[in-house]
Amino acid sequence: MTIDWNAFTPLSALGGGLLIGIASAWLILMNGRIAGISGILGGLLDCPRDDRSWRLAFVIGLLVGPTLWGLFHVLPTIEIHASAPVLIAAGLLVGTGTRYAAGCTSGHGVCGLSRLSPRSLAATLTFMGGGFATVFIIRHLLGA
Amino acid sequence: MNKYSLSAFIGGLIFSVGLLLSGMANPEKVLGFLDIFGAWDPSLALVMGGAIAVGLPAFALAKRRKASLLGNAIQLPAKREVDRRLVLGSLAFGIGWGLAGFCPGPAIVATGAAQTGALIFTLAMFAGMWVFHWLESRKAQAA
């Protein structure tokens, strides 16, 4: 392991993390709900009708964020190098996987760890491990 | 729009700006963090650290309250067991995360930033969620 100090952005990472924490705190204290994105999205498919509007409103908030940002600042770069077939395979894995695991980086990683949930710790270690292993195989074994 | 939806919209907006600022919405940045055996960019560990630093007191407070500030019930997950579904699902998610550098929130945000690749990923993710929903409802019917 070598640390890429040129890519290291501690201040914006920490500031962004604090905002993500504030958003999660807001949703649990104001609405009484967990800010788990996969759960909020997946719930749109099977939740009761009266539970649907806050979910849609949250997702619209996520979608509108870049536009709001763009009013004040140039948007940060978003680099996507994966090809369309890889993006589709990855999306299918993320969609089914997060539903089976009942959570993703936000639901288990942020909210679950903040609740000191052993289940969320297991989920977080597993998906982080899966991510590390996948990137290792792609970049260092396959050299792609 | 009712107060619950307005509040959720504000929450989503703050979350979105947090993902953009942190670098999470940029798959290349995420893959740099996941490349622990290469030139590693540790930034995103600070994202989770910062989020949990705020989350810890907030959820401790939420556990002690009966109702949210808007008056509805606080819904905290009750499930505690680590089962096969949790582990295999998380593993599949991790592999997908490592393939594209997207997890659900950043994919939606990058879609909002008009990134075609993010839209493709998000549609596939929705399809995956729908497949889960379909399999589960078939299982429920059979039972």
Q: If pLDDT is split at 50, 70 and 90, which confidence band does A47 have?
A: confident
Q: What is the pLDDT of residues A66-103, one digit of tens each?
A: 999 999 999 999 999 999 999 999 999 999 999 999 99
Decide if B95 and A54 are in contact by the 8 Å CB cutoff: no
The pLDDT value recorded for residue A14 is 98
CB of B138 less than 8 A from some CB of A: no
- Rounded Cα gap, residues A79 and A34, in angstroms: 29
Number of domains in chain B: 1
Decide if A60 and B12 are in contact by the 8 Å CB cutoff: yes
The pLDDT value recorded for residue B49 is 97
Tell me the average pLDDT of chain B. Answer: 96
Q: If pLDDT is split at 50, 70 and 90, which confidence band does B23 have?
A: very high
CB A125 within 8 A of CB A53: no
The pLDDT value recorded for residue B48 is 97
What is the percentage of chain B residues whose pLDDT exceeds 90? 93
Instruction: Using CB atoms, pick whichever of A1, A61, A126 lies closest to residue B40.
Output: A1
Chain B residues closer than 8 Å to A136 by CB: 35-37
What is the percentage of chain A residues whose pLDDT exceeds 90? 94
Q: What is the dihedral of CA B77, B128, A136, A138, to 10 degrees?
A: -170
Measured in Å, how far apart are chain B's first and last C-alpha atoms? Answer: 39
Q: What is the mean pLDDT of residues B52-74?
A: 96
Decide if A122 and B90 are in contact by the 8 Å CB cutoff: yes
Q: B 1-20 residues with CB below 8 A of A?
A: 1-2, 4-20
- Rounded Cα gap, residues B30 and A91, in angstroms: 15
Q: Which of A20, A47, A57 is nearest to B75 (CA)?
A: A47
- Indicate the SS3 state at residue A3: strand
The maximal CA–CA distance of chain B, rounded, in angstroms, is 50
- Rounded Cα gap, residues A27 and A30, in angstroms: 5
The pLDDT value recorded for residue A5 is 92
Q: If pLDDT is split at 50, 70 and 90, which confidence band does B1 have?
A: confident
Q: What is the pLDDT of residues B96-111, one digit of tens each?
A: 999 999 999 999 999 9
Chain B residues closer than 8 Å to A111 by CB: 55, 59
Q: What string of DSSP letters covers A90-125?
A: HHHHHHHHHHHTT--IIIIIIIIHHTT-HHHHHHHH
Q: If pLDDT is split at 50, 70 and 90, which confidence band does A50 have?
A: confident
* Boundaries of domain holding B74: 3-142
The pLDDT value recorded for residue A48 is 86
- Rounded Cα gap, residues B53 and B64, in angstroms: 18
Please give the ipTM for the structure prediction.
0.97
Least confident piece of the model among A78-87, B18-27, B73-82, B113-122: B73-82
CB atoms near residue B116 (< 10 Å) = 12
- Rounded Cα gap, residues B15 and B11, in angstroms: 6
Residue B91 has pLDDT above 80, yes or no: yes
Query: HSE on the CB side for B142, CA within 13 Å?
Result: 6
Q: If pLDDT is split at 50, 70 and 90, which confidence band does A133 have?
A: very high
Q: What is the mean pLDDT of residues B32-45?
A: 96
Nearest CA in chain A to B122: A91
Report the DSSP beta bridge partners of residue A2.
Answer: B39
The pLDDT value recorded for residue B27 is 98
Token pair for residue B113? 């930033």
- Rounded Cα gap, residues A21 and B47, in angstroms: 9
Q: Which of B19, B1, B24, B44 is nearest to A8 (CA)?
A: B44
Token pair for residue A34? 């967990």
Q: What is the pLDDT of residues A36-46, one digit of tens each?
A: 999 999 999 98
Token pair for residue B122? 């998000």
Residue B11 has pLDDT above 80, yes or no: yes
CB of A52 less than 8 A from some CB of B: no
